[in-house]
Structure formats: structure tokens, C-alpha cells
Amino acid sequence: MSAAQSQTGLEAQLEALQCHFTWDLDPSSSKLFCLRDKLEDIGTEEGYSWLGHIYNLQGFIHYQLGLSDDAYRFFSRAAEAFRQIKNTVSDEGPWLVVNHGNLAWLHYHEGEQAESEAHLSKVKFLMNEYPSPSQEELHPEICAEKAWTLMKFSADKMLLAADNFQRAIRMQPDMVEWHTSHVIGLENALRHREKNMGADIFDKLKIAKKHDPDNLYLTALYFEACAKRGKKNETEARELARRVLRKPISSYSGLKPLLRLYRIYVSMDEAIDLAEEVLERHPHERYLKRCAAICYKKKIFLHRDNPLENGMIDRAISLHKEVITLYPFSSLTRKISLANIYAESNDQGKTDEIYEELLGSDLGAEGAQMLYNNYAQYVHRFRKESYKSIEYHIMAAAITQQSCYRENSLRTLEKIRVRGRNRMCREIDEFLKNIQD
């Protein structure tokens, strides 16, 4: 066999693998930087059951960012994490199929054909040694890792993630963490699109909480869902707060949904007090500063018709500035929030400065859609430029990424079209008809 044929055959085998390099993941730099930060905020203790998957995804992200040495380091850490999680000293197990697939691709891209082929051989051995319980399905360990990865990557892949979780659970129903992550993913997808939770997902959430009572993130989501159904219990919220504060700092500890819970169950002011209390205990944790910044933002935006103390606004601004510094490559949301806080404090000059900088940036489709929708609302409310607002709502809606930002822009455009009093109604009508075709 010629060298060219050998290379072609290797490429075909690599393309057939089930791993991060073949799962059609969005490689845009903005998405990768955001994900890298999110995974770092999980930490290592609270994300223990998914630690191997976290390291596998970190490896893929670092390779896509051009950091091959870091990618190899994370893939190696993934293999070690799986050994610890599965409590085995063996280098075998179906949970290592994706890891070896990633390493096969990494060595291939680095021009190391022999090493790539060695990992391909390992994948073949593992798949033969540990066949799937169903001939029609991938092994449940592969389905679960694919589901978890898709869930982390973007909300628009949530249906595919849910399908993979369901496949894994059908074949291996005793894996509690799969049920938990499946339900959390469904809830996150609804939140991203600002949709209410239906009875079917609420029932799944209730069952998952029963089977995973130590997962405080899940518990907070359940209490929040109960509150939205009119079943509020301040005692439960406060008890949950005490439990969360005893856990290591992590985005998996449940603090973020707990603060949302406080805003519903108790009060906005007590949510802020709780965030400040946790931050005082751990003043150098960037994730806590991010959570506190969100609380102040919510307070300002939900009480925009009532005058707020300057100290409240100043604290919100200082926290947002600090968080932007701590998340330099994934700070779009915080920058937009800071711009809007300045607008609420009547500092239109600083608001315009931030938006002008962002509008001149390359943000990718998802980021641009968020920016256009927020800017459309800003110029309408504060600058009274209705035509410019309509233009940016159209720009946001023209990006086909499904999100709450697109839906908000579409609703706004439809309302303007129905009223029929704006000179841009013809353009709006034509645009809405075109995107429906």
C-alpha cells in the first residue's frame, strides 16, 4: 500500500470514531473561550463524577485554540480521572473509547501517524471487548459522554443531547448522574429560551432529586420550579443555603440557582446579602464575583422605575468591571450588562462607548445576536431611535440561532407590524415573510 493510500485509510478510520473531533462541535473562538472558563469554574471536587468528561472536553478546546501540549495534558488527565472514578487500576473500560479517539486525532494532527494508529487499535480493542448492550446503539458510556458534551456546548444542541442521554439511560438505567445531568440540561435549555417548565420535565426533576438528594444544584432547581408553581418555602431555601455554603466553591455547588431561588422565595436584597456573605468568605474566587454581579444587575433592572442608592449602582459597576477583567476572553454578557447599568445610571456616554466597541468586534453568530437584540432595546428606550432599533431587531432575528434574543426581536417586530403605525412596517412585513418561507 502506498503512503497516500495509507494516509487516506487512516483518515477514514479517524472520521468513523466517536469523539469530540467528529461530533460537529462549533469551533468558533468565542464559544471555545466561554466553555473553557465554564469548565474551569466547575473545579475538580464538585464535578467529580464528570471529571473525565470535563478533561476530555478541555483537551479538545485547548487543541482548537492552538494549544496542543495543553490538549495532550488534559487528555492524559482524563484517562487518570476515569481510572479514579471507576475505581480501577486498569487501562481498559468502555468509558475510555472517546479518550483514545481524541488522542488518535491529536497525534494525527501533530503528524505522529504511529501514535495515532496505536490509539485507533486501542479503540477497536475496547469496542470488541466491551460491546454495547444494544447492537443498534453506541455503548451507553459513549452516548452519555456525547450527551454531556453537546449539553455543555450550546442550547441549540440540547435536543440531540437529550436523545443521547435517553439512549444511554435506557441501556444503563442505574447511572444516577446521567439522570441528573439529563434533567439539568432540559431545564437549562428552557431557561435559555425563556420557556416555562412543563409538567413532564417537572416530574423528571422531582424524580431525579429523589434519587440524587446530595446534588444541591439539582435541589435548588427543584425548589425554584416549585416556587414558580406557587409553592414557596423560605425555611427550605435558608436550609439549602446553609448546605451550599458548606461545600467547596464551584459552579456545581448550587450557588447560582440558590441565589435565583432567594430572589423568588425570599427577597432581592437578601439574595445580594447572601452573595456578599459568600464573597466575604472567599474574596478571591472569580465565580463568586460573577454570581454577585448578576444579583446586583437583577436588582437594578427589576427596580428600574424606583430610584436606587448610588452605592448600589457603584457596587454593580465595580463588580462588573472586575468580572470582565477576570474573564477577559468570555466577557460579552458582562460588557452588555455593564453598558445597560450605565444607561440606567444616566451615563449614556459610557453606554455608547461600550456598545460601539462591541459592534466593531467579531463575536460570532451567537454573540452578535445577543448584542444586536440588547442594542436594539437600548436605542429604543434611551435614545428614542425607533428606526435604528428596528434595524437591529431585524439583524438579530436574521441570525437563525434559536435563542431568547431572537424570539424577543421577532416578538417586537411582530408587535410593530400589527400596530401598523411605523414607516418601516413594509420592511418588517417583508422580512417576517421571508424568514417564514
C-alpha grid cell for residue 11? 483518515
Once rounded to an integer, what is the mean pLDDT over residues 355-376?
94
21 DSSP 8-state letter: G
Q: Which amino acid is at 136?
A: E
DSSP string for residues in 318-364: HHHHHHHHHSTTS-HHHHHHHHHHHHHTT-HHHHHHHHHHHHTS--H
pTM value is: 0.89
- With cell 435506557, the residue in question is 170
| Amino acid, res. 125 | F
Q: What is the pLDDT of residue 6?
A: 60
C-alpha distance from residue 182 to each of 34, 175, 208 (Å) = 21, 11, 9
> What is the pLDDT, as a whole number, of residue 437?
57
Most confident of 37-51, 61-75, 142-156, 393-407: 61-75
Distance of CA 123 to the CA centre of its chain: 29
Residue 303 has pLDDT above 80, yes or no: no
pLDDT digits (tens, 9 = 90+) for 206-248: 999 999 999 999 999 999 999 888 888 888 889 999 999 988 8
Instruction: Indicate the pLDDT class of residue 14, thresholds 50, 70 and 90.
Output: very high
pLDDT class for 305, splitting at 50, 70, 90? low
CATH code at 1-130: 1.25.40.10
pLDDT of residue 354: 98
The pLDDT assigned to 191 comes to 77
pLDDT attached to residue 120: 96
In angstroms, rounded to a whole number, what is the distance separating the alpha carbons of residues 377 and 393? 8
- Tell me the pLDDT band of 421, cut-offs 50, 70 and 90: confident
Alpha helices (H) in 193-245, listed in sequence order: 199-211, 216-228, 234-245
Does residue 159 register a pLDDT over 90? no
DSSP state of 130: S
How is residue 94 annotated by DSSP? G
Which of 186, 100, 97 lies closest to 143 in space, CA to CA?
Answer: 97
* Domain range list for the chain: 1-130, 281-362, 374-437
The one-letter code for the residue type at 103 is L
Query: pLDDT digit string (tens) for 316-350?
Result: 999 999 999 999 999 999 999 999 999 999 899 99
23 pLDDT band (50/70/90 cuts)? very high
Q: What is the pLDDT of residue 190?
A: 81
pLDDT for the residue numbered 215: 92
